[in-house]
Structure 1
Amino acid sequence: MPPDISLTVLSLLCLAALAAGWIDAVVGGGGLLLLPALLVGLPHTPVVQVLGTNKSAAVVGTTAAAVTYVRKTPVDVWAALRIGLAALAGSLGGAFFAAGINSAVLRPLIMVILLGVLAFVLLRPAFGTASAPSGPVTRRRVLAAILLVGLGIGFYDGLIGPGTGAFLIVALSAVLRMDLVAASATAKIVNVCTNVGALTVFTLQGAVLWQLGAVLALFNLIGGMVGARMALKRGAGFVRGVLVVVVVALLCKLAYDQWYGA
């Protein structure tokens, strides 16, 4: 536990972890809330330790959400694990380079990616709300999912992390033609793999504040379980709506921090 952290800051970080777990379970992207909160709350902590601590909390909430989805809705676990193994390899590579990331580049990079996601979703109103077509997915699409979703997004998750869940959901819906609930369920399994891979590297580097991570993980776990149940109950339309709201809100927050923040 950082020696200079106050009870107020710790309480706010716990609330951020709770909200991040809920957001991550529904549409992904909870790290876009928790990671900036950690960067602000722990200004004197090296960025690599902030990233590692974020992963230690996120892996617990993501695992809880994945278990909830698998128990409540049909999921092609084998396909998800194949993509997840590729994502694990990608996240290991990304985490290896994460120590060289400067916090000054995080906001602009994430903003560009978020703008792309928002444009894609808004320009396709029916995206992810219709039922997936019947019949098996072609090998070409599965291979594309392994390379793009697995290796590509996995590398990003290990390197930076925030927004991975949202990017996974959009990519899985587009490549494998899943509705958003099925994509969200699959994304959670893949995201568990990427989190484990990245956390392994951060642990070997000694870049995890375990006591703080354990406290945040508890709140992230609660948020993840509640979010997954709500997504299953409300359906794809609810997931799409939350996705748009979250992306817009985060873009506004990041833009304010970039141009008007201290």
Structure 2
Amino acid sequence: MIDVAVLGGAAFLAGLVDAVVGGGGLIQIPVMFSLFPKEVPATLFGTSKLAGIFGTGTAAINYARRVRVAWSAAAPAAMAAFALSFAGAYTVTKVPADFVRSLLPILLVAVAIYTFRKKDLGSIHAPVHTGNTEKMVAVGMGACIGFYDGFFGPGTGSFLIFLFVRFFGFDFLSASAAAKVVNVACNISALMWFGYSGHLLWQLGLLMAVCQVAGSLVGTRLAIKHGSAFVRKLFLVVVCLLILKTGYDAFFK
């Protein structure tokens, strides 16, 4: 029962953080590995994805009700991410992800430095693309992020938010809303692969899903209440934590 309580608390916090800026796996997955050290990693990742679909889906619905989601960018990005996430999940079974593992903390440092230096980044919602250009950029971004999420995964939500802010001119709140739509597509695609290959603990995943939904409801309300400035601050905190975690995994394990 203590293990269940710890796992439920981790899923709640993961849902809360993920709803605002992504990066919930930073909390949830290490707890799962510590509680189930003998379980196959792919099964834990698949189970985490199962819970994540419910949490991210809840966040996407909540944002759609309260924030104007830029569907013209989010929808094509989500479709491309869905297709390429499955391809990434397949590729990781054939090609080692060591190169991506070592490159990730460097990319995250660049994201953090850029965001710190650009004090007004994401403070104003001023979309810079329209029409076919917007769709083409969205498809390219969705394809890259989708493949990355299926192939490796850590920090996907945070990368999405940064890309929507940097390359589409969204504020952080609108970027977070759009990112959830794309994230749901990634999770569904990856879950199809994990389910097909039998790497799922259904009961555990559904229990965590309940806690993730609760955390997601709290997280979206906090983001909507406090706006883009709050999302930006939490985004930087999560990115810094991701740098530490991925840097340790890449260079000290």
- Under a length normalisation based on structure 2, what TM-score does the superposition of the two structures give? 0.90
Q: Percent identity?
A: 38
Answer with 185-194 or 28-37: which moved more. 28-37
Paired amino acid for 2:197:
Q
- Residue equivalent to 1:137: 130
CA separation of 1:15/1:43 partners in 2, compared to 1, >3 Å: closer, same or farther? same
Residue of 44, 47, 60 corresponding to 2:41: 47
The 1:160/1:204 distance shift into structure 2, 3 A limit, reads: same
Aligned twin of 1:180: 172
Deviation at 1:172, TM superposition (A): 1.0
Q: How far apart, in 1, do the equivalents of 2:222 and 2:86 lie?
A: 32
Q: Distance in 2 between matches of 1:136 and 1:106?
A: 30
Counterpart residue identity of residue 247, structure 1? V
Q: CA deviation at 1:106?
A: 7.9
Alignment CA distance shift 1:33-1:98 (3 Å): farther
Equivalent-residue separation in structure 1 for 2:201 and 2:171 (angstroms):
37
Question: What corresponds to 1:3 in structure 2?
Answer: none
Cα shift at 1:105: 7.6
Contact 1:132 1:177 in 2 (8 A): yes
Which range moves more in the overlay, 8-17 or 65-74?
8-17
**In 1, Cα distance between the equivalents of 2:217 and 2:44?**
24
Match of 2:194 in 1: 202
C-alpha contact (below 8 Å) 1:13/1:37 kept by paired residues: yes
Residues 12-31 of structure 1: pairs in structure 2 closer than 5 A: 12-31=6-25
5 Å-filtered alignment, 1:95-134, equals 95-99=89-93, 108-133=102-127
User: By how many angstroms is 1:39 displaced?
Assistant: 2.3
Which residue among 213, 223, 228 is the counterpart of 2:215? Answer: 223
2:81 is matched with: 87
Contact 1:51 1:160 in 2 (8 A): no
C-alpha contact (below 8 Å) 1:30/1:162 kept by paired residues: no
Stretch moving more, 163-172 or 245-254:
245-254
Answer whether contact 1:154 1:194 (CA < 8 A) is retained: yes
Equivalent pair of 2:78/2:182 in contact (CA under 8 Å): yes
Structure 2 letter corresponding to 1:25: A
Q: Which segments of 5 or more consecutive residues in structure 2 lack a partner in the other structure?
A: none
C-alpha RMSD over aligned residues? 2.3
Q: TM-score, normalised by structure 1?
A: 0.87
Shift of 1:12: 1.9
In the alignment, structure 1 segments of 5+ residues that lack a partner are 1-6
Q: State the shift of 1:36 in Å.
A: 2.2
**CA distance 1:248–1:65, shift in 2 (3 Å):** same
SS in 2 for 1:88: helix
Output the CA distance in 2 between the equivalents of 1:44 and 1:175: 42
| CA shift for structure 1 position 117 | 2.1
SS at match of 2:130: coil
Distance in 2, matches of 1:65 and 1:11, equals: 23
The size of the alignment, in residue pairs, is 253
- The residue identity in structure 1 corresponding to 2:77 is I
